[in-house]
A and B are shown apart, each in its own frame.
Chain A
Amino acid sequence: MARFRKEEKKEVPELNMASMSDIVFMFLFFFMVISNIREASLKVEFKPPQATEIQKLEKKQLVANIYIGAPLNNDENTLPPGKVSVQLNDQTVKQEHLTSDVRDFVGNEKESRTTEDAAKLTFSLKVDHSVQMRYVNIIKEELRNNNALKINYATGKKVDAQRK
């Protein structure tokens, strides 16, 4: 009789994996859109100071970075009297070439953009929190001489609740 048919063992149906790759690709595109590839490897220590009144820079393409901090390797070029390096692009700057290097850097950054964008170009100073102001002042003076007046002090976001 049909009622007492011996029950067949049910098999778990195999999952269809075809859509999984679609999902992962979606993730991939999402991350590709919101992120940007690191353009230069850091040669100096950079731990930004924390601040509350910060603004986001609008466009990634309109920012040129200048890193200032203690060198990560001993053989990097430094600016005396302390041990602080200035990194433009992917190289640390020699002290005797500082003026010409900054001028070339500003010139290159401006040239690689359209005239319209060059006017909006912001130079983001990524300075380690422990660096003395003398090094920052040197760079600021050089930028000023080269008519690169729009600058930005890169900072991290301080959580407001920690303030007293």
Chain B
Amino acid sequence: MARKTPGLNTASSADIAFLLLTFFLLTSSINTEQGIPRRLPPPKDPNVKEEQVDINKRNVLTVRVNFNDAIMVNSEIININELKDVAKNFLANPTNDPDLPMKESKDIEGIGDFAVSKGVISLTNDQSTTYNMYVQVQNELQRAINELRDQTSMNYFGKKYDNLDTALQKSIQKAIPANISEAKSKDYGGN
């Protein structure tokens, strides 16, 4: 006669599983990789002489941040809250102001003829600027670009930029380029 196998007591397996669970909860972190992506300019070639590119003055918006974290845009001191609107106005140039950047009509796939701004934002930091301020400035500039892209996207496709296909996003990127150039940091004193 075959013997009946006694049922296993499985109550403790829940405890073991809980133990594993707590272990993983403690040793792991939920994916928090996020931030502002940027591209550095390619390394300098020592053989190539640096050319001084002559950019029309009206096409440049100079943003300076000093060691006190104060912001100066084209020789005017402004607050961080105003920076976005200044940058937006500069890049869009809605009234075709002769002091604001020129526009160049380009044929862009999916959009057609679009007046692309030639504006470049030039960002200069002091060596003693805090990283927090640097990120805030980058953030505001990015916000200006993102809002312009959203507007253009709404006008042409009736959708927000984030909800577009990759191909259409590329078109918008061509229409509203993110031209932020970083000058070498200066040391104006301070600590």
A130 touches B132 (CB 8 A): yes
B34 touches A157 (CB 8 A): yes
A28 touches B20 (CB 8 A): yes
**CB within 8 Å of B: which A145-164 residues:** 145-155, 157, 164
**CB within 8 Å of B: which A121-164 residues:** 122, 124, 127-134, 136-137, 140, 143-155, 157, 164
Known: A54-B34, A129-B131, A155-B36. A31 touches B43 (CB 8 A): no
1/0 per position for B10-35, CB-CB distance to A under 8 A? Answer: 11011011101100110111110111
Q: Is A10 positioned at the interface, with any CB of B under 8 Å from its CB? A: no
Which of A35, A153, A157 is close to B135, meaning CB atoms less than 8 Å apart?
A153
Q: Is A56 positioned at the interface, with any CB of B under 8 Å from its CB? A: yes
A51 touches B130 (CB 8 A): no
With the chains together, A149 CA to B182 CA distance in Å? 14
With the chains together, A149 CA to B125 CA distance in Å? 20
Which of B25, B33, B132 is close to A124, meaning CB atoms less than 8 Å apart?
B33
Known: A31-B25, A51-B36, A60-B31. A133 touches B17 (CB 8 A): no
**CB within 8 Å of A: which B139-157 residues:** 139, 142-143, 146
Which of A34, A53, A136, A164 is close to B30, meaning CB atoms less than 8 Å apart?
A34
The residue of chain B having its C-beta at the shortest distance from the C-beta of A150 within the complex is: B39
Which of A35, A144, A157 is close to B31, meaning CB atoms less than 8 Å apart?
A35
Please count how many residues in chain B sit with their CB below 8 Å of the partner chain's CB atoms: 46
A49 touches B40 (CB 8 A): no
Please count how many residues in chain A sit with their CB below 8 Å of the partner chain's CB atoms: 55
The residue of chain A having its C-beta at the shortest distance from the C-beta of B39 within the complex is: A149
Closest beta carbon of chain A to B10's beta carbon, Å:
5
| Chain B residues near A31 (CB-CB < 8 A) | 21, 24-25, 28
Q: Is B41 positioned at the interface, with any CB of A under 8 Å from its CB? A: yes
Q: Which stretch, A13-21, A72-80, A94-102, A109-117, touches the partner chain B?
A: A13-21
Known: A24-B21, A133-B129, A136-B131. A17 touches B14 (CB 8 A): yes
With the chains together, A96 CA to B76 CA distance in Å? 40
Which of A127, A129, A143 is close to B40, meaning CB atoms less than 8 Å apart?
A143
With the chains together, A136 CA to B26 CA distance in Å? 31
Q: Is B42 positioned at the interface, with any CB of A under 8 Å from its CB? A: yes
Closest beta carbon of chain B to A66's beta carbon, Å:
12
**CB within 8 Å of A: which B109-168 residues:** 125-132, 134-136, 138-139, 142-143, 146
Q: Is B185 positioned at the interface, with any CB of A under 8 Å from its CB? A: yes
Known: A25-B17, A38-B27, A51-B136. A154 touches B131 (CB 8 A): no
5 residue pairs of the A-B complex, CB under 8 angstroms, read: A56-B34, A146-B43, A151-B37, A151-B40, A155-B34
- What 19 additional pairs, Cβ within 8 angstroms, besides A28-B24, A53-B36? A17-B10, A32-B28, A35-B24, A35-B29, A36-B31, A49-B131, A51-B138, A60-B31, A68-B131, A129-B130, A130-B132, A133-B131, A134-B127, A137-B127, A147-B42, A150-B39, A151-B37, A152-B38, A153-B36
